[in-house]
A and B are shown apart, each in its own frame.
Chain A
């Protein structure tokens, strides 16, 4: 591990160590560039992970205060927990399920293809699928995505058997155990999946890809990385020329530090990244850094989500094995005849006995609800994930009424479903129930969206500086040495789980940053 001086202004400072920050750090270190990574969370490991839902949540989740507003049900049921994402080295790659799907070609052109949808702030990405394709390939190889690179698909568990049986009866054709960044055989110095069933609680076998035990150690081995866990960034500073010059943070001893920087890359996930830009407002940048468009924090997307659980006469034991054990992709295309724009994926999901009562139907109680717990071993479940509409009013703002322990206003997450989201969700609920009925379900349950595990779009990429925050490289329009490096970049959400695309963008951004530094453009 390198030990980089606070005054070294030749370094790249990356805020966050997840899919974006961790990958970017390794890619830059491999090119010989010195990198300081400031990660708010502590450093865990497969040894310290726990197969216990609430204990793990306490270990890995972002629990610093946030507030919520808007008509979304999360604001009522989980008013202080808009998102289930992580504060730990590796970020949400410790917690994710491993689903690694490429965006579809038309999803990069959502505005052109879907047209002008009232109440939505659609915009085409300033990148095409063909530009990203070689980087998608690198990401799939890096992460070991099954059904790519000669890697066999994973074996399907009982939960997948139920989904598959119902899906086939309904005539669905694109049904399999997924493109997963989970080793089906040993690869890259990590073992193959043991079907533990606690994917969301950190993978104790290391079979699931996470920057924590792949990108970070590889970066450290170059001698170019200085990773500082429990470093909570409060401000990004700039000089009189309007270029960022350093980052202020509180270290693990609670002391305020300043790290100089030649380049700053923000990868704190889509709530903290815009919050940090807003907190860094100054006389020169009164609305926050890189916010001449006013779009910092806006266009927050969380994907159309919901779950369907089903009870059967006979046991399923859905908790045995991978949480996301398989997928139906037939509904992921754009088919406006269904009554909505965009598409959705149907992916198996399982919750343990501790989380099921809390999340099956937040606020619910009584005999009907208890019946579901009684039948726990006979349940199957799926998660519906689809494209939700970017809206200017769905946004992260600073809540000046609530301060965190460092004295900074916390993030408020405001969200209202768009009509398209509601119509799509109802369609997805219906189709999910039909899949399970076709497999013989005696009862089905529509579970509303959980605290968001996919958080996107709040510093979006745009061709024009007035429409977004950063250009096609994630370089902010206003400040050439300030980059957005996480899912905040997403111009639109697509129907696919975001991690593969975040890693892809980071690999590509590293090439660009290295080139810009060589040319002394930044």
Chain B
């Protein structure tokens, strides 16, 4: 209730903005929320599950052609 009362103030905005970047923009947060971060050094996701979702049907190949793997 106290915090709700501060909503809209410049102070609130500054603190919220800082929290948003410091709470979520770090490796510990990434791990906690399931975001693996940098991908290029691992070869991206082309062989690491970028299409691995199974709980919906795969689109036909006209809509989504297979990846080129060499």
Residues of chain A at the chain B interface (Cβ within 8 Å):
50-54, 152-158, 160-162, 164-165, 175-177, 184-185, 192-198, 204-205, 314-317, 319-321, 326, 352-354, 356-358, 363, 365, 373-374, 376-377, 439-440
Contact = CB atoms under 8 A, between A and B. Distances in A.
Contacts of A156: 51, 59, 63-64
Q: Interface residue tally of chain B, by bracket?
A: 35 or more
B66 A321 contact: no
B50 A321 contact: yes
B51 A161 contact: yes
B63 A363 contact: no
Contact of B49 (A51, A184, A320): A320
Nearest to A158: B53
B64 A376 contact: no
A154 B65 contact: yes
B39 interface: yes
B65 A177 contact: yes
B44 A195 contact: yes
Contacts of B23: 357
B35 A376 contact: yes
A124 B43 CA distance: 47
| Chain B interface main SS type | loop
B65 A153 contact: yes
A316 B51 CA distance: 9
Given A156-B59, A161-B58, A195 B50 contact: yes
A195 B37 contact: no
A213 B57 CA distance: 38
7 contacts: A156-B63, A161-B53, A162-B53, A185-B68, A195-B46, A197-B39, A316-B53
A155 B51 contact: yes
Nearest to A370: B23
Given A176-B62, A353-B29, A376-B34, A198 B39 contact: yes
Contact of A153 (B35, B37, B57, B64): B64
A376 B29 CA distance: 11
Given A205-B44, A354-B25, A358-B21, A164 B63 contact: yes
Nearest to A194: B44
B16 A365 contact: yes
B38 interface: yes
A192 B70 CA distance: 10
Contacts of B53: 158, 161-162, 314-317
Nearest to B30: A353
Contact of B63 (A51, A53, A177, A356): A177
Interface in B12-37: 13, 16, 20-21, 23-25, 29-30, 33-37
Nearest to B57: A165
Contact of B39 (A51, A356, A439): A51
A456 B49 CA distance: 37
B50 A320 contact: yes
A204 B43 CA distance: 10
A52 B58 CA distance: 30
Contact of A357 (B20, B43, B44, B68): B20
Given A155-B66, A357-B24, A365-B16, A196 B39 contact: yes
Contacts of A440: 56
Interface centre among B21, B23, B35, B67 (most CB of A within 10 A): B67
Nearest to A53: B25
Given A205-B40, A319-B36, A321-B45, 18 more contacts: A152-B68, A156-B63, A157-B51, A158-B51, A161-B56, A177-B64, A194-B45, A195-B67, A197-B45, A321-B46, A353-B25, A353-B29, A353-B30, A353-B33, A358-B21, A363-B13, A373-B33, A376-B34
Contacts of B39: 51, 196-198
B55 interface: yes
A439 B45 contact: no
B6 to A, nearest CB: 10
A154 B58 CA distance: 14
B67 A155 contact: yes
Contacts of A53: 25
A61 to B, nearest CB: 15
